[in-house]
């Protein structure tokens, strides 16, 4: 649970800090040659997928544990794991494009 929360936080940092910074620079006509899609891929979709899994499934398990004062019950996550492929579908595109994004970053490193 803690690892997932950390992962979601890191994705949020990427989307809110790095992407926003680049967008703001581009509004000021700086780094306009950088294609954000090529640089970041679909990282926002990946963040959304993780957030959905957290809100719809992990939170239910945490809430149940808090209400009952019992240890975490992973069986509460069953529905989430049945839907895991659907929820986490953005990772397929992300993983397929990741090497291209890294290459794009290297090519545009100054």
The CA distance from 53 to 48, in Å, is 9
Cβ atoms within 10 Å, residue 86? 9
Kindly report the average pLDDT of the chain as a whole number.
Answer: 94
How many Cα neighbours within 13 Å face the side chain of 33?
Answer: 6
pLDDT tens for residues 53-101?
999 999 999 999 999 999 999 999 999 999 999 999 999 999 999 999 9
**Residue that is written with structure tokens 């306009």 in the block:** 32
pLDDT of residue 109: 83
pLDDT at 110 over 70: no
List Cβ neighbours of 9 (8 Å cut-off, separation of 6 or more).
none
**Residue that is written with structure tokens 């545009």 in the block:** 108
Tell me the pTM. Answer: 0.85
List Cβ neighbours of 76 (8 Å cut-off, separation of 6 or more).
57, 60, 61, 64
């Amino acid at each position: 649970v803690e690892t997932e929360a950390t992962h979601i936080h890191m994705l949020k940092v990427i989307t809110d800090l790095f992407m926003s910074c680049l967008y703001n620079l581009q509004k000021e006509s700086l780094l306009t040659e950088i294609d954000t899609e090529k640089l970041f891929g679909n990282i926002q979709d990946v963040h959304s997928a993780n957030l959905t899994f957290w809100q719809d499934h992990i939170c239910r398990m945490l809430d149940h544990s808090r209400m009952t004062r019992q240890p975490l019950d992973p069986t509460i996550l069953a529905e989430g794991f049945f839907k895991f492929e659907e929820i986490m579908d953005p990772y397929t595109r992300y993983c397929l494009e990741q090497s291209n994004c890294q290459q794009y970053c290297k090519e545009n490193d100054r």
